[in-house]
Amino acid sequence: MTDIAKLSTLLDDPGVRDLLYGLAYTGSPITGPARLQSVVLRLAETTTPEQYGSWLSDVSRNQPMTVDQVRSSIGEGTLDDIAQLSGSNAAAVAWQLTSVLPDLVDAASPGGRVVAADVLGPEIFAAIADDERSAGAFG
């Protein structure tokens, strides 16, 4: 089992969970954890090596990404789908993803290696379950 501390922390934010859910289940025939893993891997192709390397590193601060990079990585159709799902607009979703995607890569790559989709899925579900348990009866 990989260390899910960063993933669990990332998923503590309900807004981030909603964005990642939308990203995992819209805009592609590949869905769920496999879709999130493909997005993580695609970001290596659509960002600079320095950016992506900072996200993989467990010691470097994550470098920011631009809205244009989000648009080229995710695609306008997927941004529109996530916006519709979240009751927002594509521009707002793209802006929110500029901070979420570097953190997703960071969380999905403990030790600098992107975890496989079949590992990522249980990690996500475990992180969500841990968050729900910590919220208590009134969470």
Classify residue 95: in a domain, yes or no. yes
State the CATH number of the domain containing residue 66. Answer: 1.10.10.690
- Whether 16 and 22 have beta carbons less than 8 Å apart is answered as no
Higher-confidence position of 128 and 102: 102
- When divided into structural domains, the chain yields a total of 1
pLDDT digits (tens, 9 = 90+) for 81-109: 999 998 999 999 999 999 999 999 999 99
| pTM of the complete model | 0.87
Give the C-alpha separation, 69 to 89, whole Å: 17
User: Would residue 86 count as lying in a domain?
Assistant: yes
Residue 138 falls inside a structural domain? no
